Amino acid sequence: MPEPQKVSVVGGGSFGTTIAHVLAEGGNDVLLYVRNEDTVKEINERHKNARYFEDLTLHKGVRATSSFEKAMKHSMLVFAMVPSKAFRSVMRELAPFATAEHMIVHGTKGLERETFKTMTQLIREETCVRRVGAIAGPNLAREILAGLPAATVVGSKFDEVVARVRAVLMTPRFLVYGNRDLLGVELGGTLKNVLAIGAGIIDGGSFGANAKSLLITRGLAEMMRFGTHMGASAQTFSGLSGIGDIIATCTSPLSRNYQVGFRLGKGEALADIRKSLTQTVEGIDTTAALYRYAEKERIKINLTRGLYHLLFEDLPIADVQKMVMQPSAVYEVDSPAG
């Protein structure tokens, strides 16, 4: 067994809290940065983060702080679990305490909407840290925190980052694989959120299992087309951060993106759904960013285009169905066997 290590986690949302718990289960000394002082006190005194998991208790090895300085000094390995819309500003805040010795690995499944940049690009732009990585996969936070078996993949161009993350994060109930295709891991974890909204719409509108299978398979093809255009490896999307994450988030009501889609399928308006949300749903903004980038680059993403018109232009679901049921090509694959 690896020796216990000091590890810091930035972000006390559902996934950040869960990763901190898993790290502590592995015997590591974990310091979790949380902005809210009441939550810091609750974690340190009650071992709870009631906003997200009222019925579940955190490992006693998780301690919390509201100080970026303390979190960054605690460990040279930092997991950043921050919503994409706040990611750049958080990196700016912790930048004065970052050093070239730090490694930052994020678990944010989103893109910066205005620039279409990944979170690792933002880490490099806002801090001096160069050894970066990302984790993604079928990682529904509540299941992991409840002790159910799961796995993730850490993407990084640095073998030392992959080795360090595997050493601290892997437990008998949580497998960790490595992948040198950092961009593919980031894009897989991000783009599947769009499909999860679509899957929720299908279930909420009772469109059937065939329709969901169509969405998943052709949606995966869109992800691969888009990802390879950006420079990712197509093979990455057949792994945990691609099809693995798609299966989990397109079939489980624990997925926030799926929940939004389900409510849309039941006839609720997006504006009303957004008012009731207490957690970030990355897929909404990702749909907008992906659609605009694909239009500019002329990338075929028929399913995403239909979902964009539903979310942002109030196109009725029946009209979206007609749109996406138009084949975008004669052959299922680009190079049919001869």
Active site residues: 192
Distance from the first to the final alpha carbon of the chain: 51
Alpha-carbon gap, residue 57 to 3, rounded angstroms: 25
Q: Count how many Cα atoms sit within 13 Å of the Cα of residue 150 in the half-sphere of its side chain.
A: 25
Q: Count how many Cα atoms sit within 13 Å of the Cα of residue 165 in the half-sphere of its side chain.
A: 34
Alpha-carbon gap, residue 92 to 197, rounded angstroms: 31
| Nearest in space to 249 (alpha carbons), one of 236, 262, 238 | 262
Task: Give yes or no for a contact between 122 and 113, defined as CB atoms under 8 angstroms apart.
Answer: no
| Nearest in space to 233 (alpha carbons), one of 188, 181, 191 | 181
Alpha-carbon gap, residue 143 to 25, rounded angstroms: 15
Alpha-carbon gap, residue 318 to 310, rounded angstroms: 10
Question: According to DSSP H, which parts of the chain are helical?
Answer: 14-25, 37-46, 50-53, 68-74, 84-94, 119-126, 141-145, 159-169, 182-204, 209-230, 245-251, 256-265, 270-276, 282-297, 302-313, 317-324
**Both tokens assigned to 114:** 């205005």
| Nearest in space to 250 (alpha carbons), one of 108, 152, 138 | 138
Residue 165, Cβ density class (10 Å: 0-12 exposed, 13-18 middle, ≥19 buried): buried
